[in-house]
Amino acid sequence: MKRVVVTGLGVVSPVGNDVQAFWKALTEGKNGIDFITRFDTQDLKVKVAAEVKDFDPLLYIEKSEVRKTDLFVQYALYATAQAMQDSGIADQVLPDRFGVYFGSGTGGFETFINEHNSLLNRGPQRVSPLFIAKMISNIAAGNIAIKFNAQGPCLSITTACATGTSCIGEAYRAIKHGYADAIIAGGSEAAITPLAVAGFDNCMALSEATDKDSASIPFDKRRNGFVMGEGAGALILEEYEHAVKRGAKIYAEVCGYGSTCDAYHVTAPHPEAIGAAKAIADAVKESGLTQTNRIYINAHGTSTPLNDKTETLAIKKALGEEKARAIHISSTKSMTGHMLGAAGAVEGIAAILALDSGIVPPTIGYQEPDAECDLNYTPNVAAKADLDLALSVSLGFGGHNGCVAFKKVNDNE
């Protein structure tokens, strides 16, 4: 089997639109949640979201591309351009050995709404001929492949809020089994719209808090729903020997992946956390680092009553009670909100940077412990930690569970 490493990172997020700014904000506990500015919330019970700020697509995207793409595609191309630049892989990999595994939970949500309004208000002839090509959820992957001449496998995986993690994990398997030498992996989302906010809120998923600092508070007893976020994360995954041969900078090795389904309920997690626990346990087992306690878990940690207690149970079942209490855990959704299909990719980047830097980002806003959430969630302040293994956990509507594992590269393996 081939070894797989990470050689490039790119991010668009509510706390920063490049990796350096993103990581600085996370380690300093900066809150990216604020009152919604995109539209009038007078008729909505939800008032806050984690919007991307100061986004200038023209830094990485041609004006003609911006005009022809939905915002979720712009985020994806922007993050990928950063990752490509960071990795230096352009022209260093054969096009037919270069792939894209990039997904979205909802696709071009804003485009869908705008064109539907055009249909209702102006008639069918005024629906844009670009409507379908801007809206379909695979089109971020397609545009990335076109822009960077990636002629190998190109898949757009949609597993709701586990999308980014699924894309990383499946890209890892593709390279591991020899189907590609390098793959752009990640996820993107831009769904902060009145319709999406109303839909999530009416299914009792969103926080209606008006205090931005107590809206997304994972594992806190006061938690009452997630906060919508947006953005994109892109990672360049590469076969180890290929990366070494070209002298690439290596952030970490992808060393494990677990993927399961609760097969239980469309929105609620399985109360016994069977699927989530297996996904985590499978990733750790494949990593080969089953004996270490020097682990960081970037938890799914949505700040919903059911998710956080179930995820806590899953960690205990996967690792055992003693180890679960010894490791470092945090939810960066306390700062970025829930980035939906982009969450797993961006949180995978956070896990890699924690492993690389020895700094565990905090779970901010944490004040009141919950008896059912009784692990070390790194409350409010970042912690220094010498880590052997970093895990990123994602759990999505439909029962999708994903966990991807990263470790430091050992050149002697």
Q: Could you give the angle at the alpha carbon of 227 between the alpha carbons of 82 and 220, nearest 5°?
A: 115
Catalytic position from the list 167, 255, 270, 300: 300
Residue 238 tokens, joined: 């590469």
Active site residue 270: no
Residue with tokens 């293994």: 389
Whether residue 265 lies in the annotated active site: no
The yes-or-no answer on residue 403 being catalytic is no
> Alpha-carbon distance 39 to 156, whole Å?
29
Cβ-contact 352, 390 below 8 angstroms = yes
Distant-in-sequence contacts of 38-43, Cβ < 8 A, 24+ apart: 38/192, 38/193, 39/193, 39/194, 41/197
Active-site residue, selected from the candidate residues 255, 338, 400, 403: 338
Q: Take residue 98 and report the two structure tokens written for it.
A: 């270069």
The torsion of the CA quartet 308, 272, 168, 54, rounded to 10 degrees, works out to -20
Angle 2-3-5 from CA coordinates, rounded to 5°:
140
Q: How far apart are CA 282 and CA 235, in angstroms?
A: 22
Residue with tokens 């993690």: 165
Residue 350's identity, in one-letter code, is A
CA torsion sign, 389 to 258 to 88 to 332? Answer: negative
Distances in Å between the alpha carbon of 76 and those of 128, 153, 163, 405? Answer: 22, 18, 13, 23
Q: In Å, how far from its chain's centre is CA 202?
A: 24
Per the CB < 8 A criterion, the answer to whether 361 and 390 are in contact is no
CA distances from 190 to 39, 71, 149, 232, 239 (A): 14, 6, 25, 9, 31
Of 161, 167, 255, 373, the catalytic one is 161
**Residues tagged active-site:** 161, 300, 338
